[in-house]
Chains A and B, each alone.
Chain A
Amino acid sequence: MDSFFAAIVSVLFYGVAYGMVLYVISVGLSITMGMMGIANLAHGVFAMCGGYILVTALAKYQIPFPIALALSFLIVAFFSVFLDRLLYKHIYDAPELEQVLFSIALIFISIAIARLIFGTLQQPVMLPEYLKDQFTFLGRDFPAYRVFIIIFSAILIAALWFGVENTKWGAMVRATVDNRAMAQSIGINTKLLFSITFAVGSGLAGMGGALGAEIIAIQPTYPFEQLVFFLIVVSVGGLGSLKGPFFAALLIGVLDTACKYWIPEVGAFFIYMVTIGILLWRPLGLMGKRA
């Protein structure tokens, strides 16, 4: 029984760490898709960028870890504003097919650029020494870095939720997600709001990618390979919802880890079945808003 309990603890621990990373990356996608109805499949590109920024900052420039992490947020957020003004604005109101194709095009381009600059291999993450060791708690060993991921993400998520519930920006976001036309008619500058929200969401994705670089390897085909999981988190959690994807992400994280641990022969099959099941039961996701 003791080893079974130990297994449960392991699975929960690793699963929650993975789930937190998934959420930090995907929450931006949920809000932007809910707000502007844009099927941005290229969201993984921002996470990948954040990952590359962190890896390069640590390995090439010896920038301290906390600053490198902050940079992954800032640079990606800034870069996303460019992308929004330059390219995304063309497809705001385009039909679904065009949005899908647009994002696929972005994915292809970013994969190529990543390969050209960084080569095809997985990037090694040079963690600082103080995050490398084991952390002993109640007689079990836990890798310090994953403990850090959980704690840091929790703080980040709490700050985000607080911001959305209690600030003016947050109120405007919620209003626009609920009913864009109405929000516009009461004078909210939805275009500006969207740009800001897009930047925040993309910055978070970048930071999530950086944070999770140890778990989800940073290599050029990242946006293609991880897309399914980000989309699952958003669609199961509910488009436009803030809290829904959190539970979805934790569910996916723990389920995926549990499967790898106990039934590795089955792989991610189970996760897809669960996704299909949930979407059939609740097509709008667990906490979806838009009809």
Chain B
Amino acid sequence: MSKLVGFQSNPRLKISELIPWVLALAVFFVLPDYLSLGAQILTYILFALSLDLITGYAGVVTLGHAAFFGVGAYTCGILSAKLGITDPLLLLLISAIVCSLLGVSTGMIILRTQKLTQLMLTLAIAALCFEVANKATTITGGADGLTGVVIGPVFGLFKFDFLNKTAYLWCLGILFIFWYLVRRLVYSPFGITLTGIKENKQRMQAIGVPVNSYLLKAYTFSAMIAGIAGALIAQTNQFVGLNVIGFEPSGEILVMLILGGVGRIYGAFVGPLVFLVAQDILAKQFPEYWNLGIGLMLLIVVLFAKGGVLGIFDKLTAFGRSSK
């Protein structure tokens, strides 16, 4: 049994679960110059959440989740820049549908396989999507990126300004919705079955659970959420570049999730927050030391602190409580 999972048995909402939302709203009022970074963090939290669902809860290790993130971003960008569709909600909807289709079709391919082959397939699919984005320059912009992405006002009222105020609240709202949905799912019978599949697939099969069907549903849902996150980043930046698709961002989001703590929803909140803020402060001055630092931190987490930041936090609070 992997030690990377945290599993709470009580599904009722705790007071501490309100903290992220309070914090997010506070940032909106107190740090208006940082909303661009803030919106980016919110988007990556949604992305990490989708990964947590499939890797942390369902146990499928994927090195290619940014295929969905990227396809979502490019779908949104292309619809806007090339086809003139600008309503943000409609764009999210279409990206969600496209990524769900991609998710179910790739899911059917990869979920039949095991371990290295499965890992390799997730990687190959992401690399394939990258190549398409890289080469189909007339629709994706290739190495130049996709410019000319115009996003209309949310609900026809709130324009996307260059200070990213609208983008921030829009991302926050979408994140809230999917956080709620994922949380419900994880504590539902479906979610608990998923955890069972992750812990012992053979046993679940032995008791008659249609394992592949569950995994496929989870995978498709996760792909859809990742796609929506991608569309959000396209809307926030009004630009789509190659950095959102392929192996590298897939590896990065996995790292962010692990650092926060995998398999416990809020790791997906903490990880990207810590990673992106640290990157914003440090990577500018010392890009090489940034990579070194992240690598070392990851190493330490894997060897000694498997629950990530939240895992360490857990241990400290448990220690604090037991010493009273």
Q: Interface of A with B (CB < 8 Å)?
A: 33, 39, 87, 90-91, 95-98, 100-102, 104-113, 115-116, 224, 227-228, 231-232, 234-235, 239, 265-269, 272-273, 275-276, 279-280, 283-285
Partner of A112, one of B119, B255, B289, B301: B289
Q: How far is the CA of A162 from the CA of B169 in the complex (A)?
A: 65
Supposing A108-B298, A235-B116 touch, asked if A276 and B109 sit within 8 A by C-beta, the answer is yes
Question: Using Cβ atoms and an 8 Å threshold, which residues of chain A touch B4?
Answer: 95, 97-98
**Pair A228/B116 contact, Cβ less than 8 Å:** no
Which of B125-133, B145-153, B155-163, B311-319 lies at the interface?
B125-133
Q: How far is the CA of A32 from the CA of B300 in the complex (A)?
A: 24
- Establish whether residues B131 and A267, one from each chain, have CB atoms under 8 Å apart when the complex forms: yes
A231: nearest residue on chain B (CB-CB)?
B120
Cβ contact within 8 Å between B124 and A272: yes
In the complex the two chains form, is A109's CB within 8 Å of B119's CB? no
Query: In the complex the two chains form, is A101's CB within 8 Å of B127's CB?
Result: no
**Is B123 an interface residue, CB under 8 A from the partner?**
yes
Q: Which residues does chain B contribute within 8 Å of A267, judged by CB atoms?
A: 131, 134-135
| A234, B124: Cα distance in complex, Å | 13
- Is B243 at the interface (CB under 8 A from chain A)? no
State in angstroms the CA–CA spacing of A77 and B125 once bound together. 33
Interface size on B, residues (CB 8 A): 46
Contact between chains at B135 and A102 (CB < 8 Å): no
Q: Does B292 contact A (CB under 8 A)?
A: yes
- Which residues in chain B, 279-321, are within 8 Å of chain A measured between CB atoms? 287-292, 294-296, 298-299, 301-303, 306
Contact, CB under 8 Å: A108 / B292: yes
CB distance from B301 to the nearest CB of A (A): 8
14 contacts between A and B (CB under 8 A): A96-B61, A97-B61, A100-B119, A105-B296, A105-B302, A109-B295, A115-B288, A224-B247, A228-B127, A231-B120, A232-B120, A272-B125, A280-B109, A285-B117
Complex formed: what's the CA distance from A104 to B62 in Å? 13
Asked if B87 CB lies within 8 Å of chain A CBs, one says no
Asked whether B299 lies within 8 Å of A279 as measured between CB atoms, the reply is: no
- B121: min CB distance to chain A, Å: 6
- Which B residues lie at the A interface, using CB under 8 A? 2, 4, 55, 61, 63, 109, 112-117, 119-121, 123-125, 127-128, 131-132, 134-135, 247-248, 251, 254-255, 258, 262, 287-292, 294-296, 298-299, 301-303, 306
Q: Given A224-B248, A272-B127, A98 and B2 touching (CB < 8 A)?
A: yes
Q: Please, which residue of chain B has its CB at the minimum distance from the CB of A101?
A: B302
Give CA–CA (A275, B121) in the complex, Å: 8
- Kindly list chain B residues whose C-beta atoms are within 8 Å of the C-beta of A224: 247-248, 251
Knowing A97-B4, A272-B124, A276-B124, the reply to whether A228 touches B302 (Cβ < 8 A) is no
- Inter-subunit contact B127/A268 (CB<8 Å): yes
B254 touches A104 (CB 8 A): yes
Q: Is the CB of A106 within 8 A of B299?
A: yes
A146 to B124, CA, bound (A): 28
Cα-based distance from A112 to B63 in the complex (angstroms): 21
A38 to chain B, nearest CB (A): 10
Complex Cα distance A116/B123, Å?
28
Contact A113 B2 (CB under 8 A): no
The residue of chain B having its C-beta at the shortest distance from the C-beta of A113 within the complex is B292
**B243 to A: closest C-beta gap in Å:** 13
Chain A residues contacting B121 (CB-CB under 8 Å) are 276, 279
Chain B's nearest CB lies how many Å from the CB of A251? 14
Contacts of A111 in B (CB 8 A): 291, 295
| Complex-state Cα separation, A268 to B248, whole angstroms | 16
Q: Which residue of B127, B247, B291 contacts A108 across the interface (Cβ within 8 Å)?
A: B291
Contacts A105-B296, A235-B116, A279-B121 given; indicate if A91 touches B302 (C-beta within 8 A): yes
